[in-house]
Structure 1
Amino acid sequence: MEKEALFKDILSKDIIDKNILESLCFSGIPDDFNLRPSCWKLLLDYMPLKVPERNESLINHRFRYQTLLHSIIIDDNFIDNEDKDHPLNSHPNSYWSSYFKDNEILLQINKDVRRLCPHMQFFQRLTKYPNSETLIEGKSLTQRVHMSLLRNESLTKEKSGIINLSLPNSRHHDFSNNNSTNENEDTIKCQPHDKVSNNHSSKQLSHLNFKEYHWEVCQRILFVYAKLNPGQSYIQGMNEILGPIYYVMANFNDESEKIYAEHDSFFCFTNLMSEVRDNFIPHMDIDKDHGIGAQMKRLKDILLQIDPDIHAHFERQDLKLHYFCYRWLMLLFSQEFRLPDVIRLWDSIFSTTDKKTFCLYVSIAMLTLIRNQLLKEDFAHNLKLLQNYPNIDILKIISKSLEIEQQVLEINGSSYKDSKRESLPDQNPFI
């Protein structure tokens, strides 16, 4: 109860001291009092620290997101026939080429979000607040995936330069729960929708009966993000970053806030991705100065400092850190622990000034906590163990991470210490 009072006190101030907030959140946000959505919005720099500015900022951001939805999902599909080029136009900037490319991205997102947190049913349940404004002539993005029997690879270019149109062999594959596909249907059903029909009663009925699963909301968020970031687009794994954020926002007890779970999740996800997006850039895998390649190099150096025995054992076995740590760091450990533990760990990660460095300490902590097993086993056993990390109390891992951080600072003779951990007494409640 005392901890709840501390959170409510800091959140009630006109201007929130972020150092104090981070110190509180680092030691864990109470699960029982529904404080986490507000705290994460503040930690991820989505919600202003000044309370008087908060309401206007949220209104503007939510309106902006709804505008983006309309622009990206609705407007792009309602183009006059005379403004569309030929479906066989292979120019990369052509309307149809862009449409087919979007469908490829959407298909990958669709596959990934359906697998979100398979150990729990949340993402397979219907949301209380479906976003019916994103319907195109009564059809959702998911239905667009189901209808996309034609893909880019179906456009084949011969040596002569002639482009042939062919139906893929897998045209009857159904990614939905509805198996009512007409197998005798040979019509290609992938064309974008033309202008809205005049049948208003049919449209109103579609909106009235519209239902949506939580994974479909995540699908829409990721598609919008991909369209806004064409250089990076969508990369497998981004769904695992979005999943916990959306879960927290969609479980807000305040109904007036829960209705905007999609909007708020989009901006929190975008802000977090701005810090970790280098992890999702493929050519940075081997770059030792930037991106996840640089993190791997730092991780190896820290491991040598903290536990040279594990480092030497891995060298003898030729067990490379990227065989297992690549996923740990890229997905912020979201695949290594149960969702409640991931959320608790993210309380601490979001509360650090340097998220990437703290993730390195978490990785070293995970290794040292199972060092006895690692040192006595062979390559195959160790790889399996590290790719299926054992069930260890997440608080123990966070506590060990702080110990690792202190050791690194002492070894390097650094006096730097994250100020937020000195804002309140009992900075490490786990020891």
Structure 2
Amino acid sequence: MGELRRLACLGVPDGGTAVRPLVWKLLLGYLPTERAFWPHELEKKRSQYSAYKDEFLLNPSEKIRRFEESKLLRKKELNSDKIGLLPRAKVTNEEHPLSFGKSSLWNQYFQESEILEQIDRDVKRTHPEMPFFSAKANQESLRRILIIFSKLNPTIRYVQGMNEVLAPLFYVFKNDPDTSNSASAEADTFFCFVELLNGFKDNYCKHLDNSQVGIRSTLSKLSQLLKRHDEELWRHMEITTKVYPQYYAFRWITLLLTMEFSFNVCIHIWDAILGDPEGPPDTLLRICCAMLILVRRRLLAGDFTANIQLLQHYPPTNIDHLLHIANRLRGSVAS
């Protein structure tokens, strides 16, 4: 794995469509290092995802219908006219669509509707310029993944912009030339998405914003990193012009740079983020710091307005040079 990480940091070669899906699955820990275990692990995870879809994507009436159907089957009281139906007199308060009970499936369903609507809106806005993401089937896959994630992670749920983090993973796995893998891209993407966000989840928890592990702490680490490597630039940014990281780096960090570069360039940057042995969170901060150093002359010459505009609309750059600068900062992120 050490050699694989080293090579990934250099970037998967152009035309790496065939190898990148496998490399990312290994780097994210979705696949074990022992190849002999791959078939069993993939079958287990894909089956688990199928169970998640059954559990989390059915509407309450369908859940109740299936529950009643299985109950009647056990009692051997089914007949052709009443399969899965509840007699009106037997509909309990908790099963009624107007119930406000905490255990009511309908109450939970309506409370989640706002999140589902936000997911729908964001999925439709995901890279509309790319035919791949405009395809209905692919949008439905993204939607299902985000819904299941939100229900399995109630402390985070869905945070606007997660669709942008999900998109590169799904794109890479869905375009796997191995049809058996591309057919299961949705399941594979879900578990890799979970693994990826596991290292960044504190950035998405509102109740941790002011803690030592939340997004403000992460932004503070970026500030410290810049000060350590370029105090002149840090002083101009944060003391002279008062351009603090929260004004420009919040999006960089929470969306893993997906909005700062073109999609293909982002894929290349992610090779390094996923492959670096220091781990994605520290690697991302080093790349963010390198982005500042790379445009230091323009930043030192700019005032508050000019620098905000520059960093919120980061200019096209040589990505290999950017990653080279980030690599020189290795081992310097504050713990």
In the alignment, the residues of structure 1 paired with residue 185 and residue 240 of structure 2 have an alpha-carbon distance, to the nearest angstrom, of 49
Q: State whether structure 2 residue 147 is matched by structure 1 residue 223.
A: yes
- Residue 324 of structure 1 deviates from its aligned partner by 0.7
Which whole-Å deviations, capped at 9, do the CAs of 1:303-361 have from their partners, x for residues lacking one? Answer: 11111122111222221111111111111111111111111111111112322111111
Change (3 A) 1:387 1:92: farther
Query: What are the residue-to-residue correspondences of 1:47-86 with 2, within 5 Å?
Result: 47-74=31-58, 76-78=60-62, 79-80=64-65, 82-83=91-92, 84-86=94-96
In the alignment, the residues of structure 2 paired with residue 256 and residue 87 of structure 1 have an alpha-carbon distance, to the nearest angstrom, of 41
Q: Provide the residue aligned with 1:345 in structure 2.
A: 269
The AA in structure 2 aligned to 1:57 is E
Q: Provide the residue aligned with 2:200 in structure 1.
A: 276
The AA in structure 1 aligned to 2:5 is E
* Higher share in helix: 2
Contact 2:155–2:205 under 8 Å retained in 1: no
Q: State whether structure 2 residue 327 is matched by structure 1 residue 391.
A: no
Identity of aligned residues (%): 34
Q: State whether structure 2 residue 304 is matched by structure 1 residue 379.
A: yes
Q: Provide the residue aligned with 1:122 in structure 2.
A: 132
The AA in structure 2 aligned to 1:331 is L
Contact 2:273–2:280 under 8 Å retained in 1: yes
In the alignment, the residues of structure 2 paired with residue 262 and residue 77 of structure 1 have an alpha-carbon distance, to the nearest angstrom, of 26
Query: What are the residue-to-residue correspondences of 1:90-101 with 2, within 5 Å?
Result: 90-101=100-111
1:234 to 158, 163, 184: 158
Q: State whether structure 2 residue 13 is matched by structure 1 residue 30.
A: yes
Query: What are the residue-to-residue correspondences of 1:31-430 with 2, within 5 Å?
Result: 31-33=14-16, 34-74=18-58, 76-78=60-62, 79-80=64-65, 82-83=91-92, 84-125=94-135, 212-287=136-211, 289-314=212-237, 315-352=239-276, 353-405=278-330, 408=332
Q: Secondary structure at the match of 1:74?
A: coil
Which whole-Å deviations, capped at 9, do the CAs of 1:218-252 have from their partners, x for residues lacking one? Answer: 01110011111122211112111111000000111
The AA in structure 2 aligned to 1:120 is M
The AA in structure 2 aligned to 1:301 is Q
The AA in structure 2 aligned to 1:74 is L
In the alignment, the residues of structure 2 paired with residue 265 and residue 405 of structure 1 have an alpha-carbon distance, to the nearest angstrom, of 29
The AA in structure 2 aligned to 1:337 is F
The AA in structure 2 aligned to 1:29 is V
In the alignment, the residues of structure 2 paired with residue 279 and residue 32 of structure 1 have an alpha-carbon distance, to the nearest angstrom, of 33
In the alignment, the residues of structure 1 paired with residue 120 and residue 106 of structure 2 have an alpha-carbon distance, to the nearest angstrom, of 20
- Residue 380 of structure 1 deviates from its aligned partner by 0.9
Q: Secondary structure at the match of 1:405?
A: coil
Contact 1:317–1:379 under 8 Å retained in 2: yes
- Residue 261 of structure 1 deviates from its aligned partner by 0.7
Change (3 A) 1:395 1:119: farther
Structure 2 stretches lacking a partner, 5+ long:
66-85
The AA in structure 2 aligned to 1:262 is E
In the alignment, the residues of structure 2 paired with residue 45 and residue 53 of structure 1 have an alpha-carbon distance, to the nearest angstrom, of 13
Q: Secondary structure at the match of 2:57?
A: helix
In the alignment, the residues of structure 2 paired with residue 405 and residue 95 of structure 1 have an alpha-carbon distance, to the nearest angstrom, of 50
Contact 1:62–1:264 under 8 Å retained in 2: yes
Which whole-Å deviations, capped at 9, do the CAs of 1:167-219 have from their partners, x for residues lacking one? Answer: xxxxxxxxxxxxxxxxxxxxxxxxxxxxxxxxxxxxxxxxxxxxx43122101
Q: Secondary structure at the match of 2:256?
A: coil
Q: Provide the residue aligned with 1:185 in structure 2.
A: none
- Residue 284 of structure 1 deviates from its aligned partner by 2.5
Structure 1 stretches lacking a partner, 5+ long:
1-17, 126-211, 413-431
Task: Compute the TM-score of the two structures, normalised by the length of structure 1.
Answer: 0.68
Contact 1:30–1:36 under 8 Å retained in 2: no
Q: Secondary structure at the match of 1:335?
A: coil
Change (3 A) 1:275 1:115: same
Contact 1:44–1:271 under 8 Å retained in 2: yes
The AA in structure 1 aligned to 2:41 is S
Q: Provide the residue aligned with 1:129 in structure 2.
A: none
Residues 21-30 or 67-76, more deviating: 67-76
Which whole-Å deviations, capped at 9, do the CAs of 1:7-38 have from their partners, x for residues lacking one? Answer: xxxxxxxxxxx111111111111231410000
- Residue 95 of structure 1 deviates from its aligned partner by 2.3
